[in-house]
Structure 1
Amino acid sequence: MQNKPKYNLFKNWKYAIDGLITAVKTESSFRLELFCAIFIIAGIIFVDTSLTNKLILLITGILVLIVELINSAIENVVDLCTKEIHPLAKNAKDIGSTAVMFTISLHVICWVFILF
């Protein structure tokens, strides 16, 4: 690939931070999930359960953010390829949204099982 830069740990870290900043500025769903994560982390700290259960809740909560970032990347690539309403573009975006929905559902199910 011609646009692939040479590997550099510090530059790659900067690219990751740039991506996070872009997501916070442009993706309302990510901002909402990041805001909710503040309360989720507080809940994890204060819930009376084992360390293992707390780690499960933390990991599934972070997984929601990760999948949302991947979904946003998919949506950006689809928008770059076409601005038309195309069935394949819609499918790609819908499938990415489904991944986010499944991840949020997994997180909620973990909370339900751990609390009750």
Structure 2
Amino acid sequence: MSPFKGQTGLKRILNAGGYSLAGLSAAFRGEAAFRQLVLLNLVLIPLAFVFEVSRGERALMIGVCLLALIVELLNSAVEATVDRISLERHPLSKNAKDMGSAAQFVALCLIGAVWLVILLG
């Protein structure tokens, strides 16, 4: 058992919330791509309420925007882990970083596809 898993109950939930806020803060301060996605979300999410679409469609439009933020957080975590292990160039490190970038590209394409299908469909 991990020594970092010692808390239970409310204390664990409060700790987890603090770690989550620290992660969001670190991403916002240190990752330009995350800041750009936050800006995109600040534009697209309110815009989703402007269009006359069903509640389900609106939820999907917002959901894919938030999904891109999640993917960027995971991509940044992969990059930080790879860099922590070694800054030396290695094919496996490149693959890991490239796959994280590809995941973000797919998430951004998903935003475009969902919004286009809903708004033009």
Gaps of at least 5 residues in structure 2 are none
Task: Please give the residue correspondences for 1:1-116 in structure 2 after superposition, counting only pairs within 5 Å.
Answer: 2=2, 4-7=4-7, 8-116=12-120
Identical counterparts, % of pairs: 33
For residues 58 and 19 of structure 1, what CA distance do their matches in structure 2 show? 22
For residues 29 and 86 of structure 1, what CA distance do their matches in structure 2 show? 23
Gaps of at least 5 residues in structure 1 are none
Return the letter of the residue paired with 1:4: F
CA distance change for structure 1 residues 29 and 3 in 2, over 3 Å: closer, same or farther?
A: farther
Return the letter of the residue paired with 1:5: K
Q: What SS does structure 2 have at the residue aligned with 1:46?
A: coil
Q: CA deviation at 1:4?
A: 2.1
- String of CA shifts for 1:73-113, please: whole Å, max 9, x gaps: 00000000110111110000000000000011011100000
For residues 24 and 46 of structure 1, what CA distance do their matches in structure 2 show? 27
> Which of 32-41 and 5-14 deviates more?
5-14
Return the letter of the residue paired with 2:60: I
CA-atom RMSD, angstroms?
1.1
Return the letter of the residue paired with 2:62: L
If the length of structure 1 is used for normalisation, what is the TM-score?
A: 0.96
Tell me the number of residue pairs that the alignment of Structure 1 and Structure 2 aligns. 116
For residues 13 and 33 of structure 1, what CA distance do their matches in structure 2 show? 22
Return the letter of the residue paired with 1:73: A
